[in-house]
Amino acid sequence: MAKYDITTTTLGSLMEDPDVVAIMEKHAPGITSNPMLGMAKGMPAAQAMGMAGGMIGQDAVEAIEREVDELHGNGIRVRFIGDLATLKPHLLESIAAAEARTAANSHMTLYIAIAYGGRWDLVRAMRRIATRVSAGAMAPDAIDEATLAGELALAGSPDPDLFIRTGGEHRISNFLLWNLAYTELYFCDCLWPDFDDAEIERAFRHFASRQRRFGLTGDQVAGG
C-alpha cells in the first residue's frame, strides 16, 4: 500500500494512465490516499475548506462522480475511511454509490481518507474497545494489538509497505499512526502534478533497496 498527499481528482487522472496502472498492479495492490481535506481533521471548518480548495462540498461530490467511472473501468475497488458521519448527506450518497459501484473489482483497492486523522482513528478504536469491556463482553487483560487493529479504519487490510509523500514535506501529518509503525517512508521534492510513472518507479526502487526488519536487527533478518 502507498500513501499520496493528493486530491481525489488528481489521483483519478493518474489512474487513467495505463502505464501507471500496470506499475500499481505489480507493486501496490492497495493504495491509501489522503486528500488535504482528510488531513484537515480537527481544524476549524473555514480553514479546512480553504486548504482543500472547497472540496468538502459540492466539488467533492463532483470529483467522486467524475472519477469513479475511470476507476471502475480499471478494475479498482474504492473505499472511503474517516469520520464520515460529519459529512453532508449528498456527499455520503456519492460515497456510498462509488463504493457500491466498485465493490466487486479486484485489481486494486483504493482507500480515500476523508475527515480522517490518525489520532481520531485511535481514539475511536479505544472507545469501541472500552464499550465492549464496560458491557462485560471483553476482559481488559484480553486486549492486545490485534484487538486494537481490528477496530481501526483499515481493519482487515495489511499495513502499508510504503508511504509516499510528495512536495518536499517530511512528515506523516497525523496519517495512519498505528498502521505506519513498520512502513518504509519515502519523501520526494517532486510536486504532485509532476508525479508520473517514472516517479512511481523511483519510489519503488527506493523501497526495493530497503531491508524490511519489522523490529528485528539486520542480522536477525539476514539469518532468517
Specify the range with the lowest mean pLDDT, choosing from 27-31, 106-110, 137-141, 145-149: 27-31
Q: How many other CB atoms are found less than 10 A from the CB of residue 218?
A: 9
pLDDT for 69 beyond 80: yes
40: confidence class by pLDDT, cuts 50, 70, 90: very low
179 alpha-carbon distance from chain centroid: 10
Domain covering 2-208: architecture: 3-Layer(aba) Sandwich (3.40)
pLDDT in tens, 91-114: 899 999 999 999 999 888 888 888
CA distance linking residue 103 with residue 109, whole number of Å? 9
Instruction: Find the helix packing angle between 60-73 and 89-102, rounded to 10°.
Output: 0
Residue in the block written with cell 523511483: 202
pLDDT value, residue 11: 52
Residue 26: band (very low, low, confident or very high) from pLDDT cuts 50, 70, 90: low
Say how far apart CA 111 and CA 23 lie, in whole Å.
18
β-bridge mates for residue 81, sequence order = 113
The residue type of 109 is T
- Provide the whole-model pTM: 0.75
Q: What is the pLDDT at residue 25?
A: 56
User: Cα–Cα–Cα angle for 202, 207, 210, nearest 5°?
Assistant: 135
Amino acid 108: pLDDT = 85
pLDDT score at 74: 86
Q: What is the pLDDT of residues 160-196, one digit of tens each?
A: 888 989 889 999 989 999 999 999 999 999 987 788 8
Give me the pLDDT at residue 24, please: 55
Tell whether the model's pLDDT for residue 84 goes beyond 70.
yes
Q: State the Rg of the chain over Cα.
A: 18
Average pLDDT, whole number, for the chain?
78
- Asked whether residue 82 carries a pLDDT value surpassing 80, the answer given is yes
Q: So what's the pLDDT on residue 58?
A: 57
Interval 41-55: pLDDT, tens: 444 443 333 333 334
